Amino acid sequence: MRSFTPFRINFGWRRALITLGISIAALLAGYAVLWFVPPVQREPAWGVQFSKSHAEWLKIDWRVVYAALLDDVGVRRLRIGAYWPEIEPIEGARRFDDLDWMMDTAAAHGASAVLVVGRRLPRWPECHVPDWARSLPEREQQGRIVALMRDVVERYRAHPSLAMWQVENEPFLTFFGECPPPDRTSFEREIALVRALDPSHPILITDSGELSMWMRTAAAGDLLGTTMYRVVWNKLVGYWSYDLLIPPAFYRLKAWLAGKPPDRMVVAELQAEPWIPKGDIFTTALDEQRKSMDVARFRKHIAFARATGFRAVYLWGAEYWYWLKDRQNDASLWEAAREVFRVDAAR
């Protein structure tokens, strides 16, 4: 008897390939449509991310930079971190002087602050641990950071400049930073702790804008924050731009799929500084720095973030603008930022 099994197998493979091809074509066609979705005509609230330790790394006076952002640029929204190494550099000797100063100075200028708590906070190495605690077992480290979070929330929950909390930073981004593997149970406990201690302020949770679909983070907080880095560098391909790959509507689509309306979405980090190939700004020529950030690129990123229609945008790189102006005699980015915040003040 003649067997038709090979024919059936061949036909099955062909049908699977045709189905796969149709599916891929439909996805590509759907993605192409995103480029023709008109931008949202909505001016977001503008703010900046600020890091004391990053300003110190740039060898500039962090208090002077912070004050200049408020007084000269006109910033009225800040995103700052309660960094464990800064608050407790010596075991058991917590000091809140610097964070108090930042919060109080913001309040004196009528500015608000997103206060980031936890171990994984903005800027390298992502997970910030004081030297004395690095050798502690992971469970003990987690216990120490929870105790610190409790102190921070209780200290600032009634502060006039506090707008919202952010718990951890991109908690499930596994391939970047010097961090232990993500622990969802511990993360959820931290959120529950902050909510129990301060039910009156919303909680922001952040995720990667380019490397995540936000499904694990969207429901965890009241607001969802995305990063937005448009020009990056890696050793395999050099500089890499998302300009022709990801349109503003892509972020709106992801927000919709994740169940977050635009007024619950925040751009937590909009790239407004260069991506330094080897991480050392002091040995990188200005011409090289300008390959990934200059005034034209800055304005392009501003327009892109505006087109998403999200409620607020925090610019990443304010310390760099000051360094460029003060140490390199180039105020171009500083002045470009002033333009943005003049518009913000007129809202």
Evaluated on CA atoms 26, 225, 209, 130, the torsion sign reads negative
pLDDT at 27: 47
**DSSP for 252-292, written as a single string:** HHHHHHTT--GGGEEEEEEE-S---TTS-GGGS-HHHHTTT
| pLDDT for the residue numbered 11 | 54
Residues of the chain with pLDDT under 70: 1-33, 35-36
Res 344: pLDDT = 86
Instruction: Check residue 6 and give its pLDDT.
Output: 52
Note the pLDDT of residue 38: 76
Residue with tokens 């990934």: 292
**How far, in Å, CA of 86 to CA of 277, rounded?**
27
Pick the CATH number of 44-345 from 3.20.20.80, 2.60.40.730, 3.90.1150.10, 3.30.420.40: 3.20.20.80
Q: Are 292 and 26 a contacting pair, CB within 8 Å?
A: no
Length of the chain in terms of residues written: 347
Residue 4: exposure state from Cβ atoms within 10 A (0-12, 13-18, ≥19): exposed
Contact 227, 209 (CB under 8 A): yes
The pair phi, psi for residue 163, each rounded to 5°, is -100, -45
| Domain range annotation of the chain | 1-34, 44-345
User: Can you give the pLDDT at residue 22?
Assistant: 47
Residue labelled with tokens 């050793």 = 235
On the 0-12 / 13-18 / 19+ scale of CB atoms within 10 A, 10 is: exposed
Q: Which residue has the tokens 């929330």?
A: 153
User: Would strands 238-241 and 231-234 be described as parallel, antiparallel, or unpaired?
Assistant: antiparallel
Q: What is the DSSP string of 193-254?
A: HHHHH-TTS-EEEEE-SSS---TTTTTTSSEEEEEE--EEEETTTEEEE-TTT--HHHHHHH
Q: Give CA–CA dist 344/305, Å, rounded.
A: 14
pTM over 0.85: yes
Dihedral over Cα of 55, 56, 58, 63: its sign: positive
